[in-house]
A and B are shown apart, each in its own frame.
Chain A
């Protein structure tokens, strides 16, 4: 059973460009979470999605950031007009669909560098 997959693993963007980060959850998981980890810091929640629904985006900046989890295909975290402060590791986690089961399994992350 493959784990959570993220790609690309490393992404370099110039200031003002767009970054697209992809996440495929574990088989049988329909809950996806995105977290951001700044250097030397812990992980910060950004957004929680289920298929075709954004459940909680309270941790996501109001501008330039968006996320989706379509019926088919991976979840996408999109950052428009990137700035140097967006440089971080972005992790996706997935969770089983069963009610009351909260375990989250993380992918290897995408390390975004903005030059």
Chain B
């Protein structure tokens, strides 16, 4: 089955800096890669996703890149703000949408 590795497990940045979180996947058939933000006590919130026919996607301060050959994808957050502090999860799916999640990254943005 699919296996998703996520790094780093914790990330601390100063407000205004950029943050990058990286994930690798094992199943070459995976074709959908979403990113979720989870705040304490809440459910995961879909923030951006990318499909295998696209190499990069951007939405305001958030961007995701995908390298199918290397089987890795990354989340980039620019101009970080304290409200970006949360746990971020990457995921991969190869079929009808069953998601395999990474272990999560705790992002802390210091004012």
Contact = CB atoms under 8 A, between A and B. Distances in A.
Interface of A: 4, 6, 31, 33, 35, 41-45, 48, 55-56, 91, 95, 102-109
* Size bracket, chain B contacts: 20 to 34
14 contacts: A31-B96, A33-B99, A42-B101, A42-B104, A43-B99, A44-B101, A48-B96, A55-B96, A56-B96, A56-B98, A91-B43, A102-B93, A104-B46, A107-B43
Nearest to A106: B43
Interface of B: 6, 32, 34, 36, 42-46, 49, 89, 93, 96-104
B45 A106 contact: yes
A104 B104 contact: no
Contact of B44 (A48, A55, A91): A91
A109 B43 contact: yes
A103 to B, nearest CB: 6
B98 A45 contact: yes
